[in-house]
Amino acid sequence: MKTKPYRTKAGAMQFKPCLEELMTAVESDDNAGFCLACGDDAFGVEPDARQYQCERCDARKVYGCEQLLIMGLYFSDQGTPDNRKSHDYGDQATDVQP
C-alpha cells in the first residue's frame, strides 16, 4: 500500500495509507489492515480493528481499513485534501515534507 509519513502531536513519525488503496481493500472484503507505525499491510484483521499488534514491528498500531476511513487517517493521490482534523484522536496529523 502507498503510504505518506506524518508526525503525531507527541512527535512520533507514523504512516497513513492511500485512500484509493484503502477503498480497494474494503471492496475486496479480505479483512485487510494497516500498521501506522511501520506502514506495513496486515491481513486477517477485523474491519473495526484498533491497536492490534503488528507482525512486522510488534507495535500495537494495526487498524482495520474501515476504521482508518472512519478516523480520517489517509491521504489521497487524487488531490483531495486529507479528511483528518488536528484535534481528532489525540494527535495532530502534520504531513512531513520530503
Structural domain span for residue 58:
3-95
> For 55-79, what is each residue's pLDDT tens digit?
999 999 999 999 999 999 999 987 6
pLDDT greater than 80 at residue 86 = no
- CA dist., res. 33 & res. 44, Å (int): 8
Strands (E), 1-98: 3-7, 13-17, 32-35, 41-43, 62-64, 94-95
Say what the pTM is: 0.78
State the total domains in the chain: 1
With contact defined as beta carbons under 8 Å apart, do 68 and 83 qualify?
Answer: no
